[in-house]
């Protein structure tokens, strides 16, 4: 018998705020009714600032982030097209895998897991590509497996420096809606996310924003697609409708989630994530542990992958957290299994929740054999929050 709430500190799906959950408790409705289209038109308009774009085409595909990846690839590229990608964590690895399975000619830069996008290696390849065979450059903005945020702007700058015409594809699944994402400023052509992370909804939508260039490319690209076709989607989207049955409940949830983001202010959302993430990291350092991210400038403000001591199995930390303390931490994926556990700190989150995560992590680390001083991580985060709360209060006055 489990009592109390089950704490969810995985990097997605994230906690769905009660008003969002309640907004989804609506009767089924006719997705072709005259007043239905306004719902999606409003979502598209309000998603644009979250993507950091004024006029990119935003599309909501039933599915998850992976569906949006597939839509981006198949609509804008043709089999045999060369693309430039890096592998530095499980999600960037999966993206390479998908591109290869789609018949793209993938030029892969392999890095240690914990590194960020290799801007210099990309720059060298782009400079060498005088015939402009590379059609797409791919960045995993926030590698959720390692807790690494990469510098998208630097990749755009490298492309511009040699006037390379490839399109820029960015996976923002665990960044968009939580940390700054500036599609227009960074010259991103295809930006991708899902409904279940920073957007605080259940999984069920793969959301994608496409630049004018991406839409132009879709007119001639021969990648095979049907369900995820931009053309079908955009034709129906013009009036707010879908080419097939949409998950209407999630759309209602998304309405409230976007209202909440607007009420908080997107820049305040970013500042909150930065503050909470720093609290988590201070806790980790106070335990004498380290994040998997290779350097501080790569630390993610949405997820921290925590390396456990070599004598400890991170799977045991996660098992204890769940079995004894009703708390879910993220697991170490693929080659990081057993080596890290992850604390997701994105979406509908506050200081009290972070302190709970740290307190339960201390208990779980202890039970798994790590030597942590009880309260050390919690105290370090509290000290940070006490200081930043005061700063935030003074700034608001």
Considering only 29-37, 162-170, 171-179, 281-289, which stretch makes contact with ligand PLP by CB under 6 A?
A: 171-179
Q: What are the DSSP calls for 136-162, one per residue?
A: EEEEESEETTTTEE--HHHHHHHHHHT
Cα torsion 205, 210, 216, 220: sign: negative
Q: Is 300 a binder of ligand PLP (CB under 6 A)?
A: no
Hey, how many other C-beta atoms are within 10 angstroms of the C-beta on 352?
A: 9
CB of 172 to ligand PLP, least distance (A): 8
Residue pair 362/374 in contact by the 8 Å Cβ criterion: yes
- Residue from 76, 93, 119, 174 that binds ligand PLP (CB under 6 A)? 174
Q: Is 177 in the site for ligand PLP (CB under 6 A)?
A: no
Q: Which is nearer to ligand PLP, 140 or 382 (CB)?
A: 140
Residue 333 CB, nearest approach to ligand PLP (Å)? 9
Residues 55 to 114: which contact ligand PLP by CB under 6 A?
Answer: 64-66, 91
The per-residue DSSP string of 68-118 comes to: HHHHHHHHH--TT-EEEEEESSHHHHHHHHHHHHTT-EEEEEE--BTB---
Pick the closer one to ligand PLP by CB: 64 or 75.
Answer: 64
Under the binding rule (CB under 6 A), the answer on residue 147 touching ligand PLP is no
- Size of the residue set binding ligand PLP (CB under 6 A): 12
- Among residues 70, 171, 189, 316, the one that binds ligand PLP under rule CB under 6 A: 171
Q: Is 302 in the site for ligand PLP (CB under 6 A)?
A: no
Please tell me whether residue 206 adopts helix, strand or coil conformation. Answer: strand
Q: Which burial class, exposed, middle or buried, applies to 60 when counting CB atoms under 10 A from its CB (0-12, 13-18, 19+)?
A: buried
Question: Is residue 347 a contact residue for ligand PLP (CB under 6 A)?
Answer: no
Nearest to ligand PLP of 77, 359 (CB atom): 77
Q: Is 14 in the site for ligand PLP (CB under 6 A)?
A: no
In the bound state with ligand PLP, the residue whose beta carbon lies nearer, of 37 and 180, is 180
Would you say 117 or 312 has its CB closer to ligand PLP? 117
**Burial category of 394 from C-beta neighbours within 10 Å (exposed 0-12, middle 13-18, buried 19 and up):** exposed
With CB under 6 A as the contact rule, the residue among 40, 74, 76, 140 that binds ligand PLP is 140
Minimal distance, residue 2 CB to ligand PLP, in Å = 25
Q: Of 209, 204, 234, 174, nearest to 51 (Cα)?
A: 209
| Residue 53 contacts ligand PLP per CB under 6 A | no
By CB under 6 A, what part of segment 190-219 binds ligand PLP? 194
Cβ closest to ligand PLP, residue 174 vs residue 248? 174
* 332 forms part of the interface with ligand PLP (CB under 6 A): no
In sequence order, which ranges of 238-327 are alpha helices (DSSP H)? 248-264, 266-286, 314-325
- Nearest residue to ligand PLP, by Cβ distance, number only: 65
Stretch binding ligand PLP (CB under 6 A), from 50-58, 140-148, 251-259, 338-346: 140-148
Residue 292, CA distances (Å) to 114, 135, 300, 357 in order? 5, 32, 10, 18
For residue 298, give the DSSP letter: G
Q: Are 166 and 184 in contact (CB under 8 A)?
A: no
Q: Is 169 in the site for ligand PLP (CB under 6 A)?
A: no
CA dihedral 357, 358, 362, 363 (to 10 degrees): -30
Q: Which of 14, 40, 76, 144 binds ligand PLP (CB under 6 A)?
A: 144
Nearer to ligand PLP, 91 or 287 (CB): 91
Helix (H, G, I), strand (E, B) or coil at 171: strand
Residues that bind ligand PLP (CB under 6 A): 12, 64-66, 91, 140, 142, 144, 171, 173-174, 194
């Amino acid at each position: 018998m489990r009592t109390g709430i089950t704490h969810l500190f995985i990097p997605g799906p994230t906690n769905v705020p009660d008003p969002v959950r309640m907004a989804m408790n609506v009767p089924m409705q006719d997705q072709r009714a005259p007043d239905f289209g306004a719902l999606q038109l409003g979502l598209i308009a309000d998603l644009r600032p979250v993507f950091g774009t004024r006029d990119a085409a935003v599309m909501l595909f039933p599915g998850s982030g992976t569906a949006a990846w597939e839509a981006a690839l198949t609509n804008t590229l043709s089999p045999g097209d060369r693309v430039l990608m890096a592998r530095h964590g499980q999600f960037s690895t999966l993206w390479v895998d998908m591109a290869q399975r789609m018949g793209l000619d993938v030029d892969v830069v392999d890095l240690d897991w914990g590194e960020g996008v290799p801007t210099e290696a990309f720059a060298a390849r782009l400079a060498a590509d005088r015939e402009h065979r590379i059609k797409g450059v791919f960045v995993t903005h926030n590698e959720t497996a390692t807790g690494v945020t990469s510098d998208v702007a630097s990749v755009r700058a490298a492309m511009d420096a040699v006037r390379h015409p490839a399109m820029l594809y960015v996976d923002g699944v665990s960044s968009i809606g939580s940390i700054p994402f500036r599609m227009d400023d960074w010259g991103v052509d295809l930006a991708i996310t899902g409904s279940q992370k920073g957007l605080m909804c259940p999984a069920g939508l793969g959301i994608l924003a496409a630049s004018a260039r991406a839409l132009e490319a879709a007119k001639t690209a021969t990648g095979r697609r049907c369900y995820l076709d931009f053309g079908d989607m955009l034709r129906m989207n013009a009036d707010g409708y879908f080419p097939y049955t949409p998950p209407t409940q999630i759309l209602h949830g998304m309405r409230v989630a976007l209202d909440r983001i607007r009420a908080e202010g997107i820049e305040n959302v970013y500042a909150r994530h930065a503050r909470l993430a720093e609290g988590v990291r201070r806790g980790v350092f106070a335990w004498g542990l380290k994040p998997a991210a290779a350097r501080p400038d790569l630390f993610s403000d949405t997820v921290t992958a925590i390396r456990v001591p070599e004598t400890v199995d991170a799977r045991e930390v996660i098992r204890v957290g769940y079995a004894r303390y009703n708390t879910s931490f993220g697991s170490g994926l693929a080659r990081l299994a057993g080596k890290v556990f992850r604390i997701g700190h994105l979406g509908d989150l506050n200081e009290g929740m972070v302190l709970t995560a740290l307190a339960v992590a201390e208990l779980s680390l202890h039970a798994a054999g790590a030597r942590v001083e009880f309260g050390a991580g919690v105290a370090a985060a509290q000290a940070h929050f006490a200081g930043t709360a005061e700063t935030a209060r003074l700034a608001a006055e």
